[in-house]
């Protein structure tokens, strides 16, 4: 295979398949080695000869088609990214469920590179609970969706379901591939929420899912960094969605996270501390379950402060290292900004990403708004979008600040 970076363009059986030709041409022009893998049904829309002619590579639709050619494992291994244009409802369902009954779904199942999906379908199909669930599952596993957008559909109806503009799909592929930038760099990310044990069955914890930190870890890894994730009580399925090379260190409590952070940090260029760390821990751990006392009107817990890991790292860092943290605040956006800027001045980190949290915002799978400030509390960036989009922007900003 060639020295150029390889991209697999999957083509689903939708009317929008012809638009994939524009994406393929743009990628070929940008000197990528493009392998088009159409589903067998999509050949009714655009035939093999067209794909071969514009990509300059052979076209396979079934795993048994290459006789002496390239197999699905080789395509999956060599691909720097897979982009599916258009991703039909059927394809999304098959990818979600790991069904591998043609070349494209085999390649996707075997690959460990970024997966970009540009859906196109009728609004009713896009909004059907079955598709919604599949999209959610794929997003949770790290797939990146480009569109669909609202507009005229092939049925003549108008609504959400139109393929995103080809330029947007092309730009998104380039943004995912703006890699190499992090090649050889070591990055530590903390994520999740610590739990401070009270007794063998109880703990003091918080509502952080770890999704944001996991997204940040994924973006760093996709861009070539060697990533160590300090994971505090994150759902195993979320961790399983990370690219293979990410080292996951279980750090369930503030104490364990601090120890791991101090051990790993000297070998890192960057630390992004996104975990929600308990500020207090019980003074005594009861080795037996704490029993309820009948008729007791009050129950008090004695707590002591935990060490501030972020501030410790900021104190220890060398000039070629960068330490970033988060300020999770509640209240109006103005209050959140003010509290976050004060926190930035206190912590001594190079960057603080201020975000609003509460029962409705910040935690879980929802839109996020983040303001980045430097150690003096001066604004250096504002981002918003879903957690994947914001994580990408965070990684870019960290890169700019590291130079």
Where is the binding site for CTP, in residues?
279, 289, 326, 343, 347
The Cα–Cα gap between 193 and 187 comes to 19
Q: Which residues between 66 and 125 bind ligand CTP (CB under 6 A)?
A: none
Q: Which residue is nearest to ligand CTP (CB)?
A: 325
Q: In sequence order, which residues have a C-beta less than 8 Å from that of residue 77 and are 6 or more positions away? A: 110, 111
Q: Which residues between 159 and 198 bind ligand CTP (CB under 6 A)?
A: 190
| Token couple for 285 | 């751990």
- Under rule CB under 6 A, residue 322 binds ligand CTP: no
Residues counted in the chain: 403
**Among the candidate windows 15-23, 112-120, 232-240, 273-281, which touches ligand CTP by CB under 6 A?**
273-281
The Cα–Cα gap between 403 and 395 comes to 13
Nearest to 136 by CA among 110, 117, 160: 117
- Under rule CB under 6 A, residue 309 binds ligand CTP: yes
Say whether 382 sits in a helix, a strand or coil.
strand
Centroid of chain to Cα 328 = 19
Residue with structure tokens 């990528």? 32
Terminal C-alpha separation, the chain = 34
The Cα–Cα gap between 113 and 257 comes to 29
Q: Which of 275, 314, 390, 394 binds ligand CTP (CB under 6 A)?
A: 275
Q: Which of 282, 325, 348, 362 binds ligand CTP (CB under 6 A)?
A: 325
Q: How far is the CB of 82 from ligand CTP (least distance, A)?
A: 33
- Under rule CB under 6 A, residue 252 binds ligand CTP: no
Residue closer to ligand CTP, measured from CB, 2 or 335: 335
Residue closer to ligand CTP, measured from CB, 143 or 357: 357
- Under rule CB under 6 A, residue 326 binds ligand CTP: yes
Q: Which of 328, 344, 371, 397 binds ligand CTP (CB under 6 A)?
A: 328
206 annotated active-site: yes
The Cα–Cα gap between 210 and 386 comes to 14
**Residue 3 backbone class (left: φ over 0; alpha: ψ -120 to 50; beta: rest):** alpha
Q: How many residues bind ligand CTP (CB under 6 A)?
A: 15
**Which member of 206, 233, 295, 386 is catalytic?**
206
Residue closer to ligand CTP, measured from CB, 37 or 191: 191
- Whether the Cβ atoms of residue 150 and residue 120 lie closer than 8 Å to each other: no
- Under rule CB under 6 A, residue 279 binds ligand CTP: yes
Catalytic residues: 206
* Interacting residue ranges for ligand CTP, rule: CB under 6 A: 190, 254, 273, 275-277, 279, 306, 308-310, 325-328
């Amino acid at each position: 295979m060639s020295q150029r970076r390889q991209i697999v363009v999957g083509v689903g059986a939708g009317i929008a398949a012809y638009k994939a030709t524009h994406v393929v041409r743009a990628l070929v022009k940008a000197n990528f080695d493009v392998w088009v893998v159409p589903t067998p049904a999509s050949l009714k829309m655009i035939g093999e000869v067209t794909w071969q002619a514009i990509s300059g590579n052979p076209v396979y639709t079934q795993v048994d088609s290459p006789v002496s050619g390239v197999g699905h494992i080789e395509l999956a291994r060599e691909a720097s990214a897979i982009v599916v244009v258009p991703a039909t409802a059927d394809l999304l369902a098959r990818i979600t469920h790991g069904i591998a009954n043609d070349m494209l779904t085999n390649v996707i199942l075997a690959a460990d590179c970024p997966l970009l999906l540009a859906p196109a379908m009728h609004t009713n199909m896009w909004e059907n609970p079955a598709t919604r669930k599949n999209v959610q599952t794929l997003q949770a596993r790290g797939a990146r969706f480009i569109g669909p957008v609202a507009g005229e559909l092939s049925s003549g109806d108008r609504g959400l379901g139109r393929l995103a503009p080809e330029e947007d799909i092309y730009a998104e592929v380039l943004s995912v591939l703006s890699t190499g930038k992090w090649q050889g760099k070591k990055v530590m990310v903390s994520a999740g929420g610590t739990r401070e044990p009270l007794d063998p069955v109880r703990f003091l914890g918080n509502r952080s899912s770890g999704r944001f930190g996991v997204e940040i870890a994924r973006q760093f890894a996709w861009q070539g960094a060697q990533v160590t994730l300090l994971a505090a009580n994150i759902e195993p399925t979320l961790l399983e969605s990370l690219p293979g090379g990410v080292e996951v260190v279980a750090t369930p409590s503030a104490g364990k996270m601090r120890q791991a952070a101090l051990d790993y940090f000297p070998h890192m260029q960057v630390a992004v501390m996104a975990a929600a760390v308990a500020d207090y821990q019980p003074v005594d751990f009861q080795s037996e379950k704490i029993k309820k006392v009948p008729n007791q009107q009050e129950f008090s817990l004695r707590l002591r402060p935990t060490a501030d890991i972020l501030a410790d790292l900021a104190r220890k860092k060398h000039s070629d290292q960068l330490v970033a943290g988060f300020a999770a605040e509640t209240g109006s956006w103005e209050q959140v900004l003010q509290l976050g800027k004060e926190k930035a001045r206190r912590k001594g980190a190079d960057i603080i990403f201020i975000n609003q949290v509460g029962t409705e915002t910040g935690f879980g799978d929802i839109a996020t708004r983040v303001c980045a400030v430097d150690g003096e509390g001066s604004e250096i960036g504002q981002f918003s979008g879903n957690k994947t989009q914001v994580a990408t922007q965070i990684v870019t900003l960290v890169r700019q600040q590291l130079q």
